[in-house]
Each structure stands twice: as C-alpha cells, then as structure tokens.
C-alpha cells in the first residue's frame, strides 16, 4: 500500500509534533500510573485518563470523546462524572475544554470505598452513559499512588493519539463474522454465451456500402437494425441481370397463362373443349409461376438489383469490423461480429491437483483488471456444466457458468485469476479490506489496546468478498481494529511517536 507524498509528509509532521509535546519531564518519570479506560457506547467512544481516586484530593479526568458517526471529536455538551456508592451519589461536571474533544471534570470524593463510576455525556437533549464499572476511592493520595505504581509501556505498543486520529480519515470497528465459502484458485476465461454472439457475413460477392453510420467497434446495435448494403459487382452483377430478366419473362408468361386457363375453363364449362385442354393450360401456368419464383429467389439471395441489406441478427455491441466502406467483399466473408455483453459465459479452469475437491460449485470471485475482485453468485450466475475429463493439454477441468446482466470491467475475451466458491457459505472472521496493510508481503492489522494505543497483528487472510477479507488466523472475535487510517498507524509504528510513555493534556 502506498501514500501520496503530501499525505505522508503531513502524517509524519503530525506524528513528530505530537511526540514532542507529549513527552513527560524526567522529574515525573516515577509518578504513579493513571487509571486509563476505553469504553464504547453505540454513539461515542470514551478514552479517559485520571489519577486514582483519593478522599478530598482532586482527580482531573481527561475525557476524550469521539463521535462514532464521524470519528471526529465531540465539541458540545457537558460531561458528568458520577460516583455511586452505599451512601449515595457524587457528581462532578465540566463542559468542553480549550482542546476540542476533551472534557476535564475534576472529582473530589468525600469518603473512601468502592464506587460505581459512570461518565455521562449530555448534548442536544440526549444522554450517553459510559459505565466504567467498579473503581476504588482510597483514604489518601499516598495510598492511591501506592496502589498504582508506575508502569512501563507494553512491548510493541504503538501510540497514536486522539489529536492525530481526529485530524485524519480514521475509524475503528470490532472484528465480526461474515459468510464465506470454501474456494479453489482457478484461471477464468470470459466468453460470449452461445446465444450471445453473432457474425454478419456477405451472402454473395459485392461492394460494401453503409446504411446510416458505417459500423465501428464499440457501436451498440439492436436486433434487426440495418448495418450494411452489399451491391453486386463483376460476374455477380451479370448474374443479377440475368435473373432479373428471367423473373420478368416468368412474370409475363404467368400473366398469359392465367388468362389462357380462365378462357379454357369457360369453354370447358360450355362443353366446347375437352378436359385435356384444361389440364394443358394449367400445366403451362404452373411452369410459368415456377420460373418466376425461381428467378425471384435467386435475385433475393443476391440482394436484388439494388443489393442486399444486411441487418443485426442480435442486439449488442460490435466488437469486430472486417471490412471498410466501398471495399469488395467475397461471398461468405465475415463483415461484422456482434456480442451481447449481457449474456456472458465464464470458464473456470481447475488444476488437476484440485480437481477432486470440486463439490457443489456455486459462485465465482473474478479478479478485475486493475480493480477489486467481483463476486458473482446466483441468481445472476448459474452453473452450466462441470467437465468430466481433464484437458490433456493443460491438465485442468473446466467448470462453466453463464451470467445474465451487464458485468462491469469484464470484457469478452478476458483471461484472469479468480476463485471457484464451493457449497454453502459458513461464518468466518472478516475485516474490511481497508484494515489490512501489506507490510513487505505480510498482511498486518492494527488492534486497539486503548483509545490511544494499538498493537500490530500479523494475520493470515483468505477470501475477499464484498469489500471484506476473510481472516483465518491472528485475530479474535470482538477485538476492535483500525478500519480506516491503518497505514497512518503503520507510520506511527515506525516513527518516534511510537516510543511515547504518556500523554499530557
């Protein structure tokens, strides 16, 4: 994965700047560890740091609140720290501080003992409550500090502060399951379906003329649309003349024979001629009609005197034009090829080593050139055939599907890689594709440790469907990971901000 230079420079500058302003003085190195809690509701994320609670001593809460609909800081409302115990409830309130997204209520508990700690955000007439569970209020500051000795940062922990997250395109989400199928790697060839391709050929030799716009590659046509006119030339032109003359002579003989049959039938009815005369007249009429019809058929096959008009046999797009305007075409020559892009056939070639695993082929994941894979499933895709024998040339078994409907970025004739998906989908861990960083050929995901710290997770990935990547190993259900901005966390991992030991507000 790559980043543009301005983005990279801005990210590094931000990382360096925040690192410089968040290092603690050496004299504070032995301070007690703060209580650090990250908590989510459907609406907001709370990341809060505060000194352990002690009777009568001020503990300032640095409450970072992120709106999960935008992953930007909460800048309105007020925060109430609520301590609930056997003797009642204490409340400590603060509005937004000078730092957007950070609220700083100060708690001074009146008595020692366990408390239930709630951090409540009130804004726009709504309450959003973060229940942080049990917290102890100690008898003195010394007792509180003794219970929370200094802690070294966890090995490999990556600092990426809220001030950084809020300024970039950043988001997190819990790891969940999605349905995935078993799959086999295949080579996929895209063909026109048997009823989705047609050629327009010259019925006889002739000179090619346009009917409207001359056909061109990429031109969309409808069935029956006139495309070309083919005028007879040379010997064929002479043949057209001969057939035209025969047709005219046959028409004249037919007209005379019809009149003779009518006259003889009247005489026969009056008893003036024999039955034989009637039969002879009718035979001459049949012969005249036959000669006229034969000449007409021959003339029609050659396009007549004005030439043959060639029409599109199917609706679709012209993908090949084999003739130029005014060019002479030979009889039977292919002039135009038309493909219907809504009727496509996919031939998935399964390697011999995997041929025994073909069971209930149900879908295809097709790698689009220069793009993400395209998942094709029923009803858009339907299985046509599974090969019963290995191809001796390439030692593969064909599995053929047919698809109906337009398929973006999959031109006829494409050869690409893909996956043959088998059987019914089964639940599997999955993450958005944007969460996976390619780190020198290793797939890496960044998991949330707390609101401002992340851990690198090397994952083994599987299928890719619908913008999600199957995770076979390296994550657990419910872990929260970076789904947008993972590469920036990767930069923080490599930069000096990753060594930060705390965060000063």
- Split at pLDDT 50, 70, 90, the class of 302 is low
Flag whether pLDDT at 145 surpasses 50.
Answer: yes
Which residues, listed in sequence order, are joined to residue 442 by a DSSP beta bridge? 439
Distance CA 123, CA 316 (A): 58
Q: Contacts by 70-76 with C-beta closer than 8 Å and gap 24+?
A: 71/165, 71/166, 71/170, 71/171, 71/172, 71/484, 72/101, 72/166, 73/100, 73/101, 73/102, 73/162, 73/166, 74/44, 74/101, 74/121, 74/123, 75/100, 75/101, 76/123, 76/124
Flag whether pLDDT at 476 surpasses 90.
Answer: yes
Q: What SS3 class is residue 147?
A: helix
CATH topology of domain 197-232+309-339: OB fold (Dihydrolipoamide Acetyltransferase, E2P) (2.40.50)
Flag whether pLDDT at 232 surpasses 60.
Answer: yes
Supply the pLDDT for residue 28: 42
**34-149 and 234-306 share one CATH topology?**
no
Distance CA 263, CA 282 (A): 11
Mean pLDDT of 301-313: 69
Residues 6+ apart with CB under 8 A from 276: none
Q: In the CATH hierarchy, which top-level class contains the domain 174-191+344-484? A: mainly beta
Supply the pLDDT for residue 378: 87
Q: Is 69 exposed, middle or buried (0-12, 13-18, 19+ CB in 10 A)?
A: exposed
Mean pLDDT of 316-332: 90
Distance CA 252, CA 240 (A): 18
- Split at pLDDT 50, 70, 90, the class of 438 is very high
- Split at pLDDT 50, 70, 90, the class of 207 is confident
CATH tag, 34-149: 2.60.40.1930
Question: Where is average pLDDT lowest: 176-180, 192-196, 424-428, 443-447?
Answer: 192-196
Q: What phi, psi does 290 have (nearest 5°)? A: -60, -45
Supply the pLDDT for residue 234: 46
Mean pLDDT of 420-449: 93
Which residues, listed in sequence order, are joined to residue 161 by a DSSP beta bridge? none
Flag whether pLDDT at 405 surpasses 80.
Answer: no
Supply the pLDDT for residue 24: 40
- Split at pLDDT 50, 70, 90, the class of 2 is very low
Q: pTM for the complete prediction?
A: 0.62
Which of 340, 343, 314 is closest to 403 using CA atoms? 343
Mean pLDDT of 451-475: 91
Q: What SS3 class is residue 20?
A: helix
Supply the pLDDT for residue 434: 94
Residues 6+ apart with CB under 8 A from 267: 273, 277
Distance CA 472, CA 459 (A): 7
CA distances from 73 to 66, 69, 349, 486 (A): 5, 11, 52, 19
Distance CA 212, CA 227 (A): 8
Flag whether pLDDT at 60 surpasses 90.
Answer: yes
Supply the pLDDT for residue 281: 84
Query: C-alpha angle with apex 255: 251 to 259, nearest 5 degrees?
Result: 165
Mean pLDDT of 37-48: 97
Flag whether pLDDT at 348 surpasses 50.
Answer: yes
Flag whether pLDDT at 408 surpasses 70.
Answer: no
Dihedral of the alpha carbons of 43, 47, 53, 58, in degrees to the nearest 10: -100
Q: Cβ distance 358 to 242 under 8 Å?
A: no
- Split at pLDDT 50, 70, 90, the class of 87 is confident
CATH tag, 234-306: 1.10.287
Q: What SS3 class is residue 499?
A: helix
Q: Cβ distance 322 to 169 under 8 Å?
A: no
pLDDT tens column, 93-144? 999 999 999 999 999 999 999 999 999 999 999 999 999 999 999 999 999 9
Give 197-227 as a DSSP string.
EEEEE-SSSEEEEESSSPP-TT-EE-TT-EE
Flag whether pLDDT at 428 surpasses 70.
Answer: yes
Domain ranges of the chain: 34-149, 174-191+344-484, 197-232+309-339, 234-306
Query: C-alpha angle with apex 147: 146 to 148, nearest 5 degrees?
Result: 90
Flag whether pLDDT at 353 surpasses 80.
Answer: yes
Supply the pLDDT for residue 299: 59
Q: Cβ distance 96 to 120 under 8 Å?
A: no
Q: What SS3 class is residue 11?
A: helix
Give the dihedral sign, CA 132/137/143/144.
positive
Supply the pLDDT for residue 239: 56
Report for 16-30, 48-62, 282-296: range of highest mean pLDDT = 48-62
What percent of the chain stands above pLDDT 90? Answer: 58
User: Cα–chain-centroid distance for residue 170?
Assistant: 22
- Split at pLDDT 50, 70, 90, the class of 498 is very low
Flag whether pLDDT at 270 surpasses 90.
Answer: no
Flag whether pLDDT at 233 surpasses 70.
Answer: no
Supply the pLDDT for residue 305: 43
């Amino acid at each position: 994965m790559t980043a543009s230079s301005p983005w990279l420079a801005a990210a590094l500058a931000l990382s360096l700047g925040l690192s410089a302003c968040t290092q603690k003085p050496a004299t504070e190195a032995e301070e007690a560890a703060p209580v650090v809690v990250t908590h989510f509701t459907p609406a907001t994320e709370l990341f809060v740091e505060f000194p352990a609670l002690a009777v009568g001593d001020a503990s300032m809460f640095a409450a970072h609140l992120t709106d999960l609909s935008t992953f930007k800081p909460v800048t309105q409302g007020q925060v109430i720290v609520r301590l609930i115990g056997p003797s009642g409830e204490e409340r400590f309130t603060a509005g937004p501080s000078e730092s957007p997204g950070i609220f700083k209520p100060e708690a001074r508990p009146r008595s020692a003992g366990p408390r239930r700690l709630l951090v409540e955000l009130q804004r726009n007439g709504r309450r959003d409550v973060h229940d942080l569970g049990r917290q102890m209020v100690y008898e003195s500051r010394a007792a509180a500090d003794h219970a929370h000795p200094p802690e070294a940062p966890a090995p490999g922990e990556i600092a990426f502060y809220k001030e950084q997250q809020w300024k970039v395109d950043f988001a997190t989400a819990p790891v969940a399951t999605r349905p995935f199928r078993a799959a086999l790697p295949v080579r996929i060839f895209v063909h026109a379906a048997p009823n989705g391709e047609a050629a327009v050929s010259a019925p006889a030799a002739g000179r090619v003329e346009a009917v409207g716009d001359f056909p061109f590659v990429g031109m969309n046509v409808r069935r029956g649309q006139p495309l070309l006119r083919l005028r007879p030339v040379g010997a064929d032109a002479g043949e057209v003349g001969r057939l035209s003359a025969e047709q005219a002579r046959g028409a004249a003989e037919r007209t005379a024979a019809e009149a003779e049959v009518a006259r003889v039938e009247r005489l026969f009815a009056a008893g003036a001629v024999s039955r034989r005369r009637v039969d002879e007249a009718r035979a001459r009429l049949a012969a005249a009609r036959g000669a006229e019809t034969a000449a007409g058929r021959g003339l029609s096959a050659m396009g007549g005197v004005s030439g043959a008009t060639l029409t599109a046999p199917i609706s679709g797009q012209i993908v090949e034009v084999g003739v130029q305007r005014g060019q002479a075409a030979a009889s039977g020559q292919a002039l135009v090829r038309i493909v219907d892009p809504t009727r496509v056939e996919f031939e998935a070639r399964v390697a011999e080593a995997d041929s025994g695993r073909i069971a209930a082929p149900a879908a295809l994941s097709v790698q689009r050139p220069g793009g993400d894979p395209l998942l094709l499933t029923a009803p858009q895709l339907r299985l046509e055939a599974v090969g019963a024998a290995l191809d001796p040339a390439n030692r593969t078994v064909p599995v053929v599907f047919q698809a109906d409907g337009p398929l973006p970025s999959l031109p006829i004739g494409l050869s690409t890689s893909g996956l043959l998906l088998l059987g019914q989908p089964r639940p599997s861990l999955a993450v958005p594709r944007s969460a996976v960083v390619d780190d020198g050929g290793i797939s890496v995901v960044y998991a949330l440790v707390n609101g401002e710290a992340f851990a690198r997770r090397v994952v083994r990935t599987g299928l890719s469907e619908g913008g999600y990547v199957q995770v076979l190993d390296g994550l657990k259900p419910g872990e929260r990971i970076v789904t947008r901005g993972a590469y920036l966390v990767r930069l923080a991992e490599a930069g000096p901000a990753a060594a930060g030991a705390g965060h000063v507000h």
